[in-house]
Structure 1
Amino acid sequence: MRYQNKGISEAVQLSLYVNMLKPRMIEEKMLILLRQGKISKWFSGIGQEAISVGVAMAMNEDEYILPMHRNLGVFTTRKIPLYRLFAQWQGKASGFTKGRDRSFHFGTQEYKIVGMISHLGPQLGVADGIALADVIRKRKKVTAVFTGEGGTSEGDFHEALNIASVWNLPVLFCIENNGYGLSTPTNEQYNCEHLADRGAGYGMESYVIDGNNILEVYSMMDRLCKSVRSKPRPILLEFKTFRMRGHEEASGTKYVPQDLLDQWAAKDPLENYAEYLRNAEILTEEAEVRIKKEIIHEIDEHLQIAFEEEVIQNNESVELNDVFKRFEYEEYRPNKETKKIRLVDAISEGLKQSMKTHDELVIMGQDIADYGGVFKITDGFMEAFGKERVRNTPICESAVVSAAMGLSINGMKAVVEMQFADFVSTGFNPVVNYLAKSHYRWNEKADVVIRMPCGGDVGAGPFHSQTNEAWFTKTPGLKVVYPAFPYDAKGLLATAINDPNPVLFFEHKALYRSIYQEVPTAYYTLPFGKAALLREGNDITIVSYGAAVHWALDTLHKHTELEADLIDLRTLAPLDTDTIYASVRKTGKLIILQEDTLFGGVASDISALVMENCFEYLDAPIKRVASLETPVPFAKTLENNYLPKARFEQALLDLQAY
């Protein structure tokens, strides 16, 4: 290999060697421990150390890096204590995930490292969000994010590059092209010579770098980092390298031709660089022996600490409490001055007042800036708060949700507007696997609200009418809010934005301009997990939420002889079971009305909970009423039959007569 120091001092050249040697020696030790059964899995980065070390050393310690499995050199170059890494790999408490996730699936704010998830792609969008926060704050920083050549086939890769290009974000997209995605060779993964060539399609600067040449990696990264700090822009980097061991050790390398392994073994980044340093008289034999002894001593000492740590003990209350970041609800009482406004106005007003309350709150979504959103909720926001904080996005829900997470990681708040709740399906992965799990996994909040215009009864058909709350109430780590009235919508939205946990905020489109209410003019909050008792009676308990609450009210207006408790849940996660149980114990009968289809919906869980906790109080079977088990139809006659409005009336009367 040909090395050119390009003005790099001897001290830095030696440091590059030491920083590559340490992860190599750790890996060699881990492979022994793996065979001894002392760790459960290992993803080897042997042969790729130059990339991790070169990137990490070129960056400032307060700049975020988002690495992957084969980037141990990032963690060691950032000087994470080895015993913490060893404890992480053994599932011990002093690791970074309390035994809840393995290997490199973790992050640490202390060292400005954000670890991967197995789905790979979302971290590219997260890097966009981290960089966006720096741009908004006018901080001269760069963010580096890693992916493999296999990951470049994911839609998230293309979405993230497009956003970074459109928004001119200071992100270095680092592709480690190591030849194989598990066992699939590159010629079966993409059909271009260089992945870096894709940069041109995004109007993005790109480079191909010899990923086994540490001086080339470091000098290029050092130059680009300095350039991007002064002139923010995204850059696509393809590091050519090779994976010398299996995808993980159990996979082996039988699918790799031996001559290819031999060819790349001759390009070993550590051995070749050590020989260069010896020839340049930068690394003496005595220094080499001393350095290796020091690393061996450090590894052994820190391994002993990790081995001596007790096996992590299960504590159920700790497990449950760590799903969400602790949130101390702060009550802002409503003022006495009110005005009669629609649901859509209450949401817009609440969002605007939150933008004033939180000066680092960013709203993102399709057509929300100049156009004001398809429902005009953000109309005038761009003029009031500027394009930096009210951002039109490309049509790429996955990367936008991921970017919202990046804003949160970098200390800001984000609200994402799904143009329709139906469209969240294309951003489903980062919602349920990144936002929902980050706090439980590595104690990182997800300060993100996703607004979800939802619901039928508007003749919008199968792709614009779903009420898909059950997709998310099933997922631990998400809060789900679903107001039915303007007063509730405004106060609950303020609380959702204050809450550092991810919130899905459902807004029924049919209620936007049909429901009016007197709403306080000033900023106020309402607590989560507190249902509203809209009607009181001893005959029967009705539980509902969203537009279905109004259908229940209409039915009760029609049947004044019925004396019912009508409970509007308002929030579905957390769920106010106390109010439900108290009512059922009083009335002895329960009917649950939801707009969603029946099977697997919220009503099913409420029914099961009441059966388990209030069975002895029941005087009749619990009744669930919901929409037909079909997609939402377009034609009004079909949609009327799909929705449960008419069926609810008969079901209510039948239960009352039971």
Structure 2
Amino acid sequence: MLTQTAPVLQFNRRDYDNALLLRLYRELLRPRLIEEKMLILLRQGKVSKWFSGIGQEAVAVGSTLALHADEYILPLHRNLGVFTGRQVPLGRLFAQWQGKATGFTQGRDRSFHFGSREHHIVGMISHLGPQLAVADGIALADVLDQAPRVTLAYSGDGGASEGDFHEALNVAAVWQLPVIFLVENNGYGLSTPSNEQFCCQSFVDKGPAYGMEAVQVDGNNVLDVYTCIAGLADDLRQRPRPVLVEALTFRMRGHEEASGTKYVPSELLEEWGRKDPVENYEKWLLAEGILSETGRAQVRESIKQEIEKAWQETEAAPAPVADAARELREMYAPEPVASSGSTNEQAATGNKQPETQDRRYVDAIREGLWQGMEQHPGLVLMGQDIAEYGGVFKVTEGFVAEFGKGRVRNTPLCESAVLGAGLGLAVRGRKSMVEMQFADFVTCGFNQIVNNLAKSYYRWGQPADVVVRLPTGAGTAAGPFHSQSTEAWFTHVPGLKVVYPSNPHDAKGLLLAALADPNPVLYFEHKLLYRSLSGPVPTAPYLTPIGQAALAQEGDELSIVTYGLGVHWALSACQELGARADILDLRTLLPWDSEAVARSVRKTGRLLVLHEDTLTGGLGGEIAAWVAEHCFSSLDAPVRRVGALDTAVPFAPQLEADFLPTQRLREAIKALRTY
């Protein structure tokens, strides 16, 4: 029953017809009644956890209904109204919350941690802020496609303290992307009040600092929210640019139910309780004669029946059946069938020798990237200084003149935002290549790679078609922050692929393979090899298969498994020592070619694993453990590992030479041969 005779909030119907006003009412009521049902089920122990949006429904409902159905929304915990407003089937939505097989993630994730391409929704991850950059990428794709659309991304007031908020707004402003950044300011980040989160008076103060408009709206007034977002969206479709919107609202329950609201002053709860978005709008509709008491009862009853039916479907839905092979397989998007324009080199040429030209390592990378741009019209290159300047290593020199600034984009110093934008481009069906100026700088985008890109396909079937190029390695006296070998940080992360070419031929072929692959691929390229190593490279496009190792040298005394610059160290050391070694170039570090390793070890009986990375925690430890487990009976000596010292990379050449494992490699070869 209604507790007040008149609404506290003031509603202006403008020129909206009754059909729209009643549609807003129904969509506002649905998430409230769903929540009331879920809270009962939570107390009954039938729902494990719940993040309540009671009190904030008008923000999600008003903004969702203001957009076109093909415009993407990136919601958060308390935006149930986005999903119901986009008419996501309740049975499937409830199944998602319950971890059922019929849910959007098939039991692999919970609550609103999912997306639906059918409904143009990109779900959140728990880190909150990274989703804002994904919105940038979606909007960038729309701009490049000349599609008059907007993208809407939500942030809480607490989440806006994250660096991802700054980066996403900065990139959107610099690139003039049509994104509406909607901050739901409910006064608290879990239990921490706003005055302990930020010092500005309101979020509209932040907009001018980014060079963007900022507006404030009553987040409990569904008509004001709808009018605000609809007006902005119409304008942004014609004049693309970002806008920051602050919706003032309040969360009437705990961050999640277990946390409660004891930290909230009772008078504040009472004040906002009087501003309840559902109750106030309902009163106004009744007072204006737009809704009758009979109509009110009918709407409520029909929604309750819909909820009950969906819940019964969910209870009857099957639980997921554990299938390890399926889980492993579906961690990655299926690789496409090679086209005639870019195939495996052997398949493309048959018995004929392909036409080749001598190329430096850096030129092979450049040629592969150039041909990739020709093969994939939707491919976008992003990185610091990669446009007119051509990148610090000149890999993209001349690309702007050929492909234009739309596809070859200088970026601000916002690694996280640019990587997130890569995922957004993939959502709209485009490919991207993101260049880290140095592999060391990837730390600033680590979360996007390991939590967004790596898990997207497994969680909700969205391929993350992004290649990250990482100039890596020591030997140039560049010190601790421009010389690190960072590949092992990522070989532990399912969903990623990691490649590391050691020669010009593979540099081109692996890059073209990475660009063709729909999964996120980290492409490590050693800086020392750029202009010091040349070799024959086919002029036509070709793919070097990801996941297949290659023998750089054959021998029968021992096996040296390595990659990158380590291949050349091993070749030099074996020549100097007269060692007859199988030198196996992994080429791909994730997934690494265990069959090729096993073949070599079973032939020679001795294994040395070599990498430039520091010894402890390097990929060599994984390979050594696997060989000990699977090839123990073939071993005639203990497995040896050789890597860099467990220190940061020193600057002085004398210290760097000692840091690198070249001399220790020779000692290990001698010891292994004579064991």
- The interval holding the TM-score normalised by the smaller chain is over 0.9
1 CA distance for matches of 2:320 and 2:550? 42
1:86 aligns with 2:94: yes
SS in 1 for 2:405: coil
1:638 aligns with 2:655: yes
| 1:582 aligned partner | 599
1:598 aligns with 2:615: yes
- Give the aligned residue type for 1:243: R
Find 1:308's aligned residue among 302, 311, 316.
316
2 CA distance for matches of 1:362 and 1:500? 14
Cα pair 2:552 2:567 within 8 Å, conserved: no
| 2:481 aligned partner | 463
Find 1:433's aligned residue among 429, 451, 454.
451
Structure 1 position 329, deviation (Å): 4.9
Matches within 5 A, 1:198-209: 198-209=206-217
| 1:474 aligned partner | 492
| 1:521 aligned partner | 539
Structure 1 position 168, deviation (Å): 0.2
2 CA distance for matches of 1:504 and 1:422? 13
Find 1:324's aligned residue among 309, 317, 332.
332
Structure 1 position 196, deviation (Å): 1.6
Cα pair 1:347 1:377 within 8 Å, conserved: yes
SS in 2 for 1:625: strand
- Give the aligned residue type for 1:630: T
1 CA distance for matches of 2:344 and 2:242? 42
Find 1:607's aligned residue among 603, 624, 637.
624
SS in 2 for 1:317: helix
2 CA distance for matches of 1:6 and 1:618? 82
List per-residue Cα deviations over 1:456-487 (Å, max 9, x = no partner): 00110000001110000011110000000000
Structure 1 position 146, deviation (Å): 0.2
SS in 2 for 1:572: strand
1 CA distance for matches of 2:627 and 2:391? 40
Matches within 5 A, 1:146-545: 146-330=154-338, 331-333=343-345, 336-545=354-563
Structure 1 position 332, deviation (Å): 4.0
2 CA distance for matches of 1:329 and 1:585? 33
1:569 aligns with 2:586: yes
- Give the aligned residue type for 2:504: P
Structure 1 position 522, deviation (Å): 1.2
Structure 1 position 559, deviation (Å): 2.2
Structure 1: runs of 5 or more not aligned: none
- Give the aligned residue type for 1:247: H
Cα pair 2:102 2:318 within 8 Å, conserved: no
Cα pair 2:336 2:516 within 8 Å, conserved: no
Structure 1 position 310, deviation (Å): 2.2
SS in 2 for 1:119: coil
2 CA distance for matches of 1:33 and 1:489? 56
SS in 1 for 2:47: coil
SS in 2 for 1:259: helix
2 CA distance for matches of 1:260 and 1:50? 19
Find 1:134's aligned residue among 113, 133, 142.
142
| 2:3 aligned partner | none
2 CA distance for matches of 1:524 and 1:323? 26
Cα pair 2:335 2:517 within 8 Å, conserved: yes
1 CA distance for matches of 2:318 and 2:202? 48
Cα pair 1:342 1:486 within 8 Å, conserved: yes
| 2:646 aligned partner | 629
Structure 1 position 535, deviation (Å): 1.2
List per-residue Cα deviations over 1:543-566 (Å, max 9, x = no partner): 110001100011112122x21111
List per-residue Cα deviations over 1:240-282 (Å, max 9, x = no partner): 0000000000000000000000000000011000010001100
Structure 1 position 647, deviation (Å): 1.0
List per-residue Cα deviations over 1:62-112 (Å, max 9, x = no partner): 000000010000000100110011101110011111111110000000000
Cα pair 1:332 1:523 within 8 Å, conserved: no
Cα pair 2:356 2:537 within 8 Å, conserved: yes
List per-residue Cα deviations over 1:504-539 (Å, max 9, x = no partner): 000000001111001111111111111111111111
2 CA distance for matches of 1:182 and 1:422? 34
Cα pair 1:329 1:527 within 8 Å, conserved: no
1 CA distance for matches of 2:46 and 2:508? 54
- Give the aligned residue type for 1:566: I
Identity of aligned residues (%): 57
1 CA distance for matches of 2:531 and 2:671? 33
Structure 1 position 596, deviation (Å): 0.1
SS in 2 for 1:292: helix
SS in 1 for 2:206: helix
1 CA distance for matches of 2:47 and 2:370? 51
Find 2:668's aligned residue among 639, 646, 651.
651
1 CA distance for matches of 2:552 and 2:566? 13
| 2:43 aligned partner | 35
Q: Tell me the TM-score normalised to structure 2 length.
A: 0.97
List per-residue Cα deviations over 1:169-217 (Å, max 9, x = no partner): 0000000001110000011101011112100100100101000011111
- Give the aligned residue type for 1:567: L
1 CA distance for matches of 2:447 and 2:296? 47
CA RMSD between the two structures:
0.8
2 CA distance for matches of 1:476 and 1:532? 23
- Give the aligned residue type for 1:83: G
- Give the aligned residue type for 2:223: L
- Give the aligned residue type for 1:627: A
List per-residue Cα deviations over 1:275-306 (Å, max 9, x = no partner): 10001100001111111111011001111000
- Give the aligned residue type for 1:77: G
Find 1:72's aligned residue among 48, 62, 80.
80
List per-residue Cα deviations over 1:397-443 (Å, max 9, x = no partner): 00010001100111100000000000000000000010001111111
Cα pair 1:592 1:603 within 8 Å, conserved: yes
Structure 2: runs of 5 or more not aligned: 1-8
Q: Tell me the TM-score normalised to structure 1 length.
A: 0.99
Moved more, 422-431 or 316-325: 316-325
SS in 2 for 1:593: strand
SS in 1 for 2:118: helix
SS in 1 for 2:542: coil
- Give the aligned residue type for 2:667: Q
Structure 1 position 328, deviation (Å): 3.5
Cα pair 1:486 1:517 within 8 Å, conserved: yes
Cα pair 2:133 2:168 within 8 Å, conserved: yes
2 CA distance for matches of 1:328 and 1:542? 32
Cα pair 1:581 1:614 within 8 Å, conserved: yes
2 CA distance for matches of 1:650 and 1:90? 58
Matches within 5 A, 1:1-12: 1-12=9-20
Cα pair 1:6 1:219 within 8 Å, conserved: no
| 2:564 aligned partner | 546
Cα pair 2:359 2:504 within 8 Å, conserved: yes
